[in-house]
Amino acid sequence: MNAMNDAPETGIPPFVLKDCALIAIATNKRASTLKEFRYHLDNLSPDSLYYHFWANLLLPRFEEREYINDFASWVRHGLSDTKLAEQLAVLDPTSFSDMEELRYHLLEYIDDRLEESEYLQWMYAVQRFEFIRSQIVVFNTRTELNEPREMLDLISTMSVSSIFYHFIDARRRTLNKVDDFRQWLAFFGESYQPLIDQLTGIDPYFSTLVELRQQLATTFQNYFAERVS
């Protein structure tokens, strides 16, 4: 599943602009201790894992995030355990073949920490962790691009949810776990490799989607401005 249609016989497929809307759903699973947290994590649906790593980027949050997933954030602020928070925060879902492998690594870190720290066996968090899942609705905006240069006019007008879909959600969908922009540019061979490299350098975790949209727009603008000069 990706943003492109099947490639026509004659050439490169168009970039099909899609958009999405996401809604959060309660799971009624809550954790007050690390042991409870571990228990739920072991049984959590993949879409809930997805939510706490990725989809939360579409939800209200304030300024820069200290930790890049909800689990790490709760361990730090709910349980005040900096060590485990740092370990969980570094987990990047794109580094794993699937959600089960990601879950395995999460549990490994938690088990290790439970073994080494006695107080985490019984300590109650200052706030419970609420496990959430989500539903995502993806729809076609009827906009297609044939040339990368057309992105110049498009990106700044894209909705933030469309940015989410193509730049973040894509990493879960695409074979190489890259965003849709890079995947599409790769169809053009080596021509756009410098642009692909610049896009690789944009970390989606530490900006709001509005900022991310601006970063993408600037990257495309700078690239084509340099190409002209």
Partner 1 sequence: MTTMLETYSTVTGADVIRHLQQLAELLKGKTVVHVNSTRVGGGVAEILDKLVPLTRELGIDTRWEVITGDSDFYQCTKGMHNAIQGNRITIPDALLNHFLEVNEQNANQLRAVLEEADFVFIHDPQPVALLKYCTNRKGKWIWRCHIDASHPHRRTWRFLDRFVRDYEASIFSLPQFVQMLPHSSYIIPPSIDPLSDKNVDLTQDELDAVQARFSIDRDAPMIAQISRFDRFKDPVGVIEAYKLAKKYIPTLQLVLAGGSATDDPEGEVVLDEVRNAAGDDPNIKVLQLPPDAHRTINALQRLADIVLQKSTKEGFGLTVTEALWKGKPVIGGDTGGIRLQVINFHTGFLVNTPEGAALRIRYLFNQKQKMLEMGVKSKEFIRENFLLTRQLREYLTLMVSLQHGAVDRIELS
Which residues ranging from 22 to 51 are in contact with partner 1 (CB under 8 A)? 22-26, 28, 45, 47, 50
The Cα–Cα gap between 155 and 177 comes to 21
Q: Considering the complex, what minimum distance in angstroms separates the CB of residue 52 from partner 1?
A: 12
Closest CA to 31 of 43, 22, 18, 19: 43
Examine residue 7 and tell whether it contacts partner 1 (CB under 8 A): no
Examine residue 63 and tell whether it contacts partner 1 (CB under 8 A): yes
For the chain, what is the radius of gyration of the CA atoms? 20
Q: How far is CA 98 from CA 31, 37, 42, 177, in A?
A: 24, 21, 15, 11
Examine residue 126 and tell whether it contacts partner 1 (CB under 8 A): no
Examine residue 21 and tell whether it contacts partner 1 (CB under 8 A): yes
The Cα–Cα gap between 22 and 34 comes to 28
Measured from the CB atom, the residue of 89 and 132 that comes closer to partner 1 is 132
Measured from the CB atom, the residue of 151 and 196 that comes closer to partner 1 is 151
Which of 135, 176, 200, 222 is in the footprint of partner 1 by CB under 8 A?
A: 135
Q: Considering the complex, what minimum distance in angstroms separates the CB of residue 115 from partner 1?
A: 30
Q: Which residues are bridge partners to 23 per DSSP?
A: 135
Q: Which residues are bridge partners to 134 per DSSP?
A: 24
Instruction: Give the length of the chain.
Output: 229
Binding positions for partner 1, rule: CB under 8 A: 1, 19, 21-26, 28, 45, 47, 50, 60-63, 128, 130, 132-141, 157-162, 208, 210
